[in-house]
Structure 1
Amino acid sequence: MGAAERDLVALGIAIAAIILFIATGGQVVPDVVRSMLGHGPGPDKILANALLLNIALIIFGWRRYRELTNEIAERRKAEEVARQLAETDPLTGCLNRRSMTRATTALRSEAEARDQSIAFFMIDLDNFKQINDMNGHSTGDRVLTKIAQVLRDNLPSEASLARLGGDEFAIVLPFDRGQPQQVDDHVMRLFEMIGRALEREGVSVDVTMSIGISSDQDASIRNAAVDYAQTLMHRADIAMYQAKKQGKNRYVWFEPTMENELRFRNELETGVRRGISNGEFVPFYEQQIDIETGRLVGFEMLARWNSPQLGLVKPDIFIPIAEDVGVIAELSEQLMVRAFADAQEWDPTLTLSVNISPVQLRDPWFAQKLLKLLVENNFPTHRLEIEITESCLHQDVGMVRAMIASLKNQGVRISLDDFGTGYSSLAQLRSLPFDRIKIDRSFITELGDAKASDKIVDAIISLGNGLEMPITAEGIENEQILTTLKRMGQLKGQGYLYGRPETAAQVRNRLTKAGRMAGKPGADAEAKHSDIEPVTEETRRAAEG
């Protein structure tokens, strides 16, 4: 660009042409005038031609100069566009992630000169994927554009706004060091303005935000050796994750303990992956009892993590992590293979219940994979009962219905787990072919103490009777609860009153003492009168797809 502006060839031609024009013009023009007045001969032809050539060169130089000027203007315009594309988000016009780092560093210098601090907001829209899935990406883009405009309109002039990608935004703004409540006030105003703006736009979506906030008031972040902008962004991201974890639609300030928690979670993620590879996850079994007769009818498989570092870890710790990192299917299949092998040693009349994660039910091939596992391990389909939670019914009811039908056609029983804690409707209970309803333990454990719980449980049992669905009660922990349930009807129950979850070896000992192991005379006699069937050729074909 600089070379084009200093085109010496064009400049030299123009200067030389002007000098020659002056020199030749001083002789040719007077001769032309005298000749026209009839006072002398015409101009020298060579000088006249030289003058015309000078005029042509001057015109050429001028045109060349104009072309260069236009070319330079176009190049500068293209460079400006390229710079904007490199530094801004094309959809919303906000800064992007790369330029936000520079903007944060620059704003820090300005804030320090005014004796101010810096707050960094990490903003993530809650459940934005559902907006795109249900309303289309054009609606999603319109929502993002509107939210960006609202954020921009409500920012102080010295603040910066960026879209970091997807539905994630970032804000960096200065505030008085002695008044951090200014940041809280600003965040609350943003929550209020976002809701109003979408209502005015007539966008039929419910958009909420989770916001994480960090600031440079911590002395450690002012260390020159620290990457200032990246550290602020990282801490705000950790705080935003906490806001998501606490229920979304809220904001959270960063605290150092959060970083330790996140580090521990990362260690858990690594441990879960390693544990699957090393076979550290083992099945435990909880008894399921016929409440009326007190007879053992089956077991529910419960996952445990036998971690070398952490000891025996319960599923409420590692199952959400396995779901988040995408290894829940592998973990579940590994446990089921072990459980099938264990259950084959039991009395053939005993059933095996297995909990299925909502993440697994999003796989359209789940039914085929489960049937394949049954075939490969030669486990009778009628002895298996899978349990799904009510939350699964709100993801893709059509696909869930197809999976349930496919499994039931092969003899697998299906239970609706944790009934009463979700939002399943009577229409869904009637249309989806469940074999059993399991009442959530939160209702069972309060029986006798809260009349409301008694009425709720009694209503669920009546509903099950009306739909001809057997009922299982979880959380039977004392005789009072058991006595109350016996008055309510014929149920299957499980809970600590009957014993804690046991290892495969403990179950084997229990069944051996009771004469309920496979191959025992009593067990063989019961099996002849049961409806349990072996794996059939039809099941094998279904498992193969």
Structure 2
Amino acid sequence: MSSRFVLANAAICTAYGLPSAALVGKTDFDLHPYDRADAFSVREQEILKSGSPMLNMEETFPDSEGISRWYSTTKVPLRSANGPIVGLIGVARDITARKRLEAFSVQQNAILEMIANNAALPDVLGKLVELIESQLDKVIGSILIYDSETGRLQHGAAPSLPEEYCRLVDGTAIGPKVGSCGTAAYRGMPVSVTDIQSDPLWHDYRELAERFSLRSCSSTPILSHDGSLLGTFAMYSSKVRSPSVEETHLINVASRVAGIAINRHRAEERLVRMAHYDALTGLPNRVLFRERLRGALAQRSVRQSRVALTFIDLDGFKRVNDQLGHQVGDLLLNAVAVRLQDISAGKQTVARLGGDEFAIVQNLSASEDATTCRDLATTIVGALSAPFDIQSHRVLTGASVGITIAQDDEDDIEALLRQADLALYQAKADKSGAVRFYDPGMSRRIAQRRSLEDDLRHALASNQFQLHYQPIIDLASKDVIGFEALLRWDHPARGMVAPQDFISIAEEIGLIVPIGAWVLQQACHQAMLWPDPMKIAVNLSPAQFRDSGLFETVIRALASSQLPPQRLELEITESVMLLDSATNLRTLHQLRALGVQISLDDFGTGFSSLSYLRTFPLTKIKIDRSFIRDLGKNPGCLAIVRAILRLACDLGMRTTAEGIETDSQLETLRFEGCSEGQGYLFGRPVPADQTTLFLAGQRSDAPALQAAAEIAAGQTGLPIDKIDRQRADNQRSCLEIGHEV
């Protein structure tokens, strides 16, 4: 049997690309390659011999355009009226769409499984493009990913496009006339370009498309669940054509899958970033910092380098948070991070460890040593000391730095972190802006410091504090008019601890507020034992002003002691004015309204802004001892003292000179019109029980004061009576304008 077609309908003729009935008389060998035709022939001969039909056999072969298609074929024997087999009847159904859908579903599930298993995004997108290309004929796919930082479309996947073309379109802009993809991303809806060479959307990119034989391009935006742009899915063709309904459906499905993959990838990136980067500053956090440090230590032998670890802590950051709020504090930390990154210039790992503490891992080459680390630290201190302009606030801070350099065989990260921390602790204990390298002796010193802190925490409850009192003298009348209360710590094992050794620690650990309240109570009660109107002067720490209960603390001390407010003088420093001036000004006005005197201590040694003298309710200025010490040696000191005295006189304020130790200093100050004085010339600080004896004996000091006047007269060349007359003139000039002398 020759197996020639004797009857064929129009559908099968069309599939073979032949006119109707053109199949009649032809064999499979006329229509297919020999191997395939031979396989058909063998199968048909078996049916003819056996008489058994072939049902729904699925097979694939190309159509007239060379496009592979799937068919479901059924062939049954054809019998004559008396029963013998005389031929075959074949029926074929085109099942290409179904087979592609089945294959698509299987591969789509495989891609979704890749997404679930955190496969690399380029691999997932590449598989997705290949899947779509397998479903469509002679179409090339491409995925671009939207980069929110640059606002452009970056290469995602295009396995069938030339690499050079992918490189050239990487970073495609988004706009109303930027090819198919840039325009689709701009519009947020699909864009189909049938002919690239004639479509205005491709005007600026026609030559590029022609160079790579690309003639049509349809692009669909890839959107997140909230409608935000994730990228674009494009299908190119070398022919002028529009996408079919089937193609459009597949691209929409693929775009949704691509969106899932990109969203999942970005979620993973966010989780990784949250785990390794500081959410506020974007710097590596403590976890990543330790990994970088471990890596640097491991690479020392390869790089022939050493590793330095630098800890940085801001000075006064708590003050910024307390006075200006946490929002300004956060912005300050961001600004600090930017300055540190600028300094490192990408050469070192800069991290935020938490709070206001930062760290740097520095690789030292063979030619670099501790000097290199110190230079970096000095640059950091200088940069962070410069003012920060944040939300109309001019914020001043600083930094302390601790450094340790790992030994060649040092691999203990915990030990290195402790060393850098100890060095930083020492730097902060020394002074603002200090830079300290770790040395083994630090552990001992830090342990002593911490032991002192622990003892200080128990000192108040154990009644270890005492108040000593130094007399304040009216320089005109030569009388004791009050005392300044000075804190002392009688430690059971250490003995008497100097104030400079524990006051700053008490401020740092937050104990100065309860200690200050105790000082106020004790001083006010002691003052009530002295004759009226003897006054008591008490120093206030800036930390006490940060405590909202300062005014109530003063009220309680006055009420419990029954001391008239006019006999209490509170001494503040200029740093109080540099804090939250509005709040502090309100507190000071409340205290003045009670009658409490306000004295500005150490005037002339800080910022000394004259606006403070005008706006703050001060009653006295205290001249710092540094000016008094060189009064007879340095003409500049005398000029400064004169200026302060005249300024205070014009403002109606009294003045106190601190640190008077010689008769010459005393008489010069009397001559210049200073109101009051303190110093060893009059008496050292004494315990409370000795103040009564001092008051009883101070009246016998008139001859000494007279002798001082004679010495001053000898230095100035003026007779004593002339000195007295000039001093009286100085005082009278103040009285004439209504000021108290």
- Provide, for residues 347-368 of structure 1, a one-character-per-residue CA deviation record: whole Å limited to 9, x for no partner: 1221111111111122343223
| Aligned-partner Cα distance in 2 for 1:513–1:352 | 19
* Matched residue type, 1:385: E
Alignment of 1:385-424 (within 5 A): 385-424=569-608
The two structures, once aligned, show a CA RMSD in angstroms of 3.9
Confirm or deny that 1:435 pairs with 2:627.
Answer: no
| Aligned-partner Cα distance in 2 for 1:341–1:267 | 32
Q: State whether residues 523 and 538 of structure 2, in contact with CA within 8 Å, keep that contact through their aligned partners in structure 1.
A: no
Match of 1:150 among 338, 342, 367: 342
Q: State whether residues 303 and 314 of structure 1, in contact with CA within 8 Å, keep that contact through their aligned partners in structure 2.
A: no
263-272 vs 240-249, greater mean Cα deviation: 240-249
Structure number with the higher strand fraction is: 2
Q: State whether residues 600 and 618 of structure 2, in contact with CA within 8 Å, keep that contact through their aligned partners in structure 1.
A: yes
- Structure 1: which 5+ runs fail to align? 1-21, 516-545
| Aligned-partner Cα distance in 2 for 1:455–1:259 | 48
Q: TM-score, normalised by structure 1?
A: 0.76
Shift of 1:255: 2.4
CA distance 1:293–1:383, change in 2 (3 Å): same
User: 1:69 maps to which residue?
Assistant: 114
| Aligned-partner Cα distance in 1 for 2:633–2:311 | 45
Shift of 1:411: 1.6
- Provide, for residues 447-499 of structure 1, a one-character-per-residue CA deviation record: whole Å limited to 9, x for no partner: 21222212211221112221121111111112121122221225211111112
For CA contacts below 8 A with separation 6 or more, give which structure has more relative contact order. Answer: 1
Q: State whether residues 154 and 190 of structure 1, in contact with CA within 8 Å, keep that contact through their aligned partners in structure 2.
A: no
- Provide, for residues 299-327 of structure 1, a one-character-per-residue CA deviation record: whole Å limited to 9, x for no partner: 11000001112111222221111111111
CA distance 1:250–1:329, change in 2 (3 Å): closer
Confirm or deny that 1:215 pairs with 2:405.
Answer: yes
CA distance 1:59–1:324, change in 2 (3 Å): closer
- Structure 2: which 5+ runs fail to align? 1-54, 60-70, 79-85, 120-260, 700-741
| Aligned-partner Cα distance in 2 for 1:397–1:218 | 52
* Matched residue type, 1:356: L
Alignment of 1:531-542 (within 5 A): none
332-341 vs 255-264, greater mean Cα deviation: 255-264
CA distance 1:353–1:83, change in 2 (3 Å): same
Confirm or deny that 1:300 pairs with 2:479.
Answer: no
Confirm or deny that 1:140 pairs with 2:332.
Answer: yes
Q: State whether residues 340 and 377 of structure 1, in contact with CA within 8 Å, keep that contact through their aligned partners in structure 2.
A: yes
CA distance 1:496–1:185, change in 2 (3 Å): closer
Q: State whether residues 645 and 674 of structure 2, in contact with CA within 8 Å, keep that contact through their aligned partners in structure 1.
A: no
User: 2:279 maps to which residue?
Assistant: 90
CA distance 1:84–1:34, change in 2 (3 Å): farther
Shift of 1:385: 1.0
Shift of 1:129: 6.5
Q: State whether residues 458 and 488 of structure 1, in contact with CA within 8 Å, keep that contact through their aligned partners in structure 2.
A: yes
User: 1:110 maps to which residue?
Assistant: 299
**Could you say which structure has the larger radius of gyration?**
2
Shift of 1:513: 6.5
| Aligned-partner Cα distance in 2 for 1:246–1:391 | 19
- Provide, for residues 12-54 of structure 1, a one-character-per-residue CA deviation record: whole Å limited to 9, x for no partner: xxxxxxxxxx99648x96744989xx9414589xxx9xx9999
| Aligned-partner Cα distance in 1 for 2:288–2:521 | 51
Q: State whether residues 150 and 194 of structure 1, in contact with CA within 8 Å, keep that contact through their aligned partners in structure 2.
A: no
Shift of 1:428: 2.4
User: 1:505 maps to which residue?
Assistant: 689
Report how many residues are paired. Answer: 476
179-188 vs 379-388, greater mean Cα deviation: 179-188
Q: State whether residues 437 and 472 of structure 1, in contact with CA within 8 Å, keep that contact through their aligned partners in structure 2.
A: yes
User: 2:469 maps to which residue?
Assistant: 285
Identity rate, percent:
33
Alignment of 1:359-398 (within 5 A): 359-398=543-582
Match of 1:472 among 629, 651, 656: 656
CA distance 1:425–1:262, change in 2 (3 Å): same
Shift of 1:375: 0.7
| Aligned-partner Cα distance in 2 for 1:169–1:251 | 14
Secondary structure of residue in 2 paired with 1:278: coil
Structure number with the higher helix fraction is: 1
Confirm or deny that 1:40 pairs with 2:88.
Answer: yes
- Provide, for residues 189-227 of structure 1, a one-character-per-residue CA deviation record: whole Å limited to 9, x for no partner: 76789899x99xxx98777654322111287xx3x7xxx
Secondary structure of residue in 1 paired with 2:542: coil
Q: TM-score, normalised by structure 2?
A: 0.57
User: 2:212 maps to which residue?
Assistant: none
* Matched residue type, 1:412: V
CA distance 1:405–1:511, change in 2 (3 Å): same
| Aligned-partner Cα distance in 2 for 1:444–1:339 | 27
User: 1:6 maps to which residue?
Assistant: none
Q: State whether residues 31 and 40 of structure 1, in contact with CA within 8 Å, keep that contact through their aligned partners in structure 2.
A: no
| Aligned-partner Cα distance in 2 for 1:34–1:52 | 29
Shift of 1:99: 2.5
User: 1:13 maps to which residue?
Assistant: none
